[in-house]
Structure 1
Amino acid sequence: MANVNVGINGRNFAIHCEDGQEQRVTDLGHYIDARLREIAKAGAANNEAHLLVLTSLMLADEVFDLRDELRHLERHLRGMEQHQSSDQLNEVQIAEAIDVLAKRIDNVSERIKAA
């Protein structure tokens, strides 16, 4: 288990994380602190607790927006896959039709040769 010091709003917090995750935890702490400072700079919070709640709400809103976007992209991808499947099905049908026509042409050719 690794330990990382994360600074948020001028305070340091000791955070335990899995080995190898230190940079990720540090980056997350920097991101949270940057968002918190944006809200603080706007003067939207009455006190530190309010500032932390507003920051949490803003971060949760970002997560929800990203989740909605992911769902939209997944639906779009499924639609593309279904369209591609129908295109592939059409290609198979076309190939089968070509085979049938090729056999008919061969039959006509054989009849002409026999005549």
Structure 2
Amino acid sequence: MADITLQIDGKQYHVACDDGQEDRVFQLGNYVEQRVREVADAAAGSKSQAMMLTSLLLADEVFDMHEKLRAANIDANEPKTITYQGLAPSDEQEINSLISRMTARVEQICARTKQAS
């Protein structure tokens, strides 16, 4: 276990985390500190009120992400319908040309086979 110290709203908090998770916990702590500053700068009130408002804002972000994830999962699970739109005229001409050449080639092979037998 690792022990780290976060500073949020001028106070130090000692946090235990799994080894290797220190950078992530610091990143999270810095994010919370940033949001607390934004709330404190935008609203008058006590530090505890700023922390409470910040908690509500962070909870709102989490709820929004859950809703987006749920919507994305629902969308990903819906069967997709692929509608054939046809070929572009130039592609259709090219395919017809290839079929004509293949037909001619098969006819040549059949003719040679008949001559050989």
Task: Please state which band the TM-score falls in when normalised by the shorter chain.
Answer: 0.5 to 0.7
Q: Which residue of 1 aligns with 2:30?
A: 30
In the TM superposition, what whole-angstrom CA distance separates every residue of 1:74-102 from its partner, at most 9, and x where no partner exists?
011011xx226xx6xxxxxxxxxxxxxxx
Q: Does 1:47 align with 2:49?
A: no
Equivalent residues in 2 for 1:1-115 (5 A)? 1-42=1-42, 44-79=43-78, 82-83=79-80
Give the residue type in structure 2 aligned to 1:83.
Answer: K
Q: Distance in 2 between matches of 1:45 and 1:29?
A: 23
Q: Distance in 1 between matches of 2:71 and 2:26?
A: 31
Q: Runs ≥4 in structure 1, deviation > 3 angstroms?
A: none
- Return the TM-score normalized by structure 2: 0.67
- Return the TM-score normalized by structure 1: 0.68
Q: Which has the larger radius of gyration?
A: 2
Structure 2: state its 5+ residue gaps. Answer: 83-117
Q: How high is the sequence identity, in percent, across the aligned residues?
A: 41
**Superposition RMSD in Å:** 1.2
Number of residue-to-residue matches in the alignment: 82
Q: Secondary structure at the match of 1:41?
A: helix
Structure 1: state its 5+ residue gaps. Answer: 88-115
